[in-house]
Structure 1
Amino acid sequence: MRRVEHVMGFPVSLRVDDEDVPERAADAVFAWLREVDARFSPFREDSEVCRLDRGEPLEISADLREVLGLCEEYRAATGGAFDARLPGRGLDPCAVVKGWSVQRAAGLLAAAGARRFCLNAGGDVVTAGGPWRVGVRHPEDAGRLCAVLAVTDAAVATSARYERGDHILDGRTGRPATGLLSLTVVAPTLTEADAAATAAFALGREGVAWAAARPDCEVFAVDADRKVLRSPGLPVA
């Protein structure tokens, strides 16, 4: 099974190698991601996130409570470098929502019987089975890779400056985080990999050691001086 759709502002591609997984499993994945975009986008005025940020009376859903709890977990763990409520900006939990929602989508596939699949959401990947080979883009040359990882039942996420410029801010200063060019995290889930990559990038150079110290996380990074840093257990292909 192969499927590609544009959801949540980026392409999402799905590959399922099992022959007995019904097409409706893919339908459920993309329906869920569209639902997440409608409910949690900080760019949709009628989303639950925007309504909460405006102070409208509403009963916060269990899903949003979970997302906000994760945001607070990473804020506390980074001493405020990661923050979904930056000064002068509205509530923006996207750095958690993306990985969390795609990991939930992977759970839908597993529940439908998929045992070997790869779900790629804008370059962040969750896999089942394996090993899968996942390329890490060179931070200054889109046509080159600077590493290839071999992952099995794991997720890979990268935070970098090459697509959207200095869009990740250090919540402690409110200024762009510029200590790194890119940072990739390999973790058991995309919830952890994606949020940890963003949080570590916000921390700057110290974020490499911070992410590598998290349970079951491995790190590949290129700092602003073009120095490559990697944790000892990084699963290089």
Structure 2
Amino acid sequence: MTDRVGWRRVEQIMGTAISLDIADPLPPDELAAATDEVFAWLRLVDARFSTYRDDSEVSLIGALPEARRSADLRHVLDECARLWETTGGYFDAYATGRFDPSGYVKGWSVRVASEQLAARGVGNHCLNAGGDVCLRGRSSSGRPWRVGIRHPSQASGLSWVLELTDAAVATSGSYERGPHVVDPFTGRGATALRSVTVVGPDLGVADAYATAAMAMGRAGVAWLAELPDHEFAVVADDGRTYRSAGLPAVA
């Protein structure tokens, strides 16, 4: 759930619905050009990093010499290595046995797309890629954007509604794809947490942190509580909820 605005576009990319809502009163041709650039970038990322495409850079990484790797791939490799260290090995792009940086790439690509929009003068927008959300400025109501966090066991229900601006929201959960987040230390799907939401300044990092906390299980709650400059909300497998004191939730 997000606030309604006058300009909206939705496309299926990366196996999910990606929606862009814009609140800036710009001419339609400027909005269309900015929107085209965003979705072209996201399609390029999908082509490079999809684990389902045999011709993607991720699928061919073992056969790609360093000189032939794109700057984007080199960036993702470096960030995944850094995040592996930051999370004590729980964010592991090799947890499934092959290189799969999906837990970072989607959030990172949406952040880059949001920066592209801002550079074009589109300073009030909400870009949502299947629960990974970048928010800038304010909604058309003049208030901060509102984002609903889905209840993991009630498809039409919400666990929290967040109100924020100039922030990133990433959610990792098992309610749609089952326990797809793997604990890299056991090799098994993580099941102790049903949903982890992280709010922070960088969507790629927030995405990776949410994935790492899912992999940690109950220990992930205490780990999230120690992160500087981030807020969190968690639903455990027994239905218990946990949230940071600074979570920008509204009643």
The TM-score normalised by the length of structure 1 is: 0.95
- Which is further off, 181-190 or 76-85? 76-85
- Asked whether 1:124 is paired with 2:132, we answer yes
Question: How far, CA to CA, are the matches of 1:166 and 1:90 in structure 2?
Answer: 18
Please give the secondary structure, in 1, of the residue aligned with 2:58: helix
Structure 1 spans left out of the alignment, 5+ residues? none
Structure 2 spans left out of the alignment, 5+ residues? 1-6, 139-143
Map of 1:190 onto structure 2:
203
Map of 1:136 onto structure 2:
149
Question: How far, CA to CA, are the matches of 2:238 and 2:130 in structure 1?
Answer: 26
Task: Tell me by how many angstroms 1:58 deviates.
Answer: 4.8
1:21-67: CA deviation from partner (whole Å, max 9, x where unpaired) = 61100000000000001111122111111111x33435222211111
Alignment of 1:87-106 (within 5 A): 89-106=97-114
1:179-233: CA deviation from partner (whole Å, max 9, x where unpaired) = 1111101111211221111111111111122223222110000112211111111
Segments of 4+ in structure 1 off by > 6 A?
none
Share of identical aligned residues, percent? 54
1:7-34: CA deviation from partner (whole Å, max 9, x where unpaired) = 1111100011111261100000000000
Question: How far, CA to CA, are the matches of 1:119 and 1:68 in structure 2?
Answer: 24
- Given that 1:126 and 1:156 are in contact with CA atoms closer than 8 Å, whether structure 2 keeps it comes out as yes
Q: How many residues align?
A: 235
CA RMSD of aligned residues (A): 1.3
Question: How far, CA to CA, are the matches of 2:79 and 2:212 in structure 1?
Answer: 12
Please give the secondary structure, in 2, of the residue aligned with 1:48: coil
Question: How far, CA to CA, are the matches of 1:114 and 1:212 in structure 2?
Answer: 33
Map of 2:16 onto structure 1:
10
Counterpart of 1:69 (choices 69, 78, 81) is 78
Task: Tell me by how many angstroms 1:74 deviates.
Answer: 2.0
Please give the secondary structure, in 2, of the residue aligned with 1:211: helix
The TM-score normalised by the length of structure 2 is: 0.90
- Given that 1:82 and 1:203 are in contact with CA atoms closer than 8 Å, whether structure 2 keeps it comes out as no
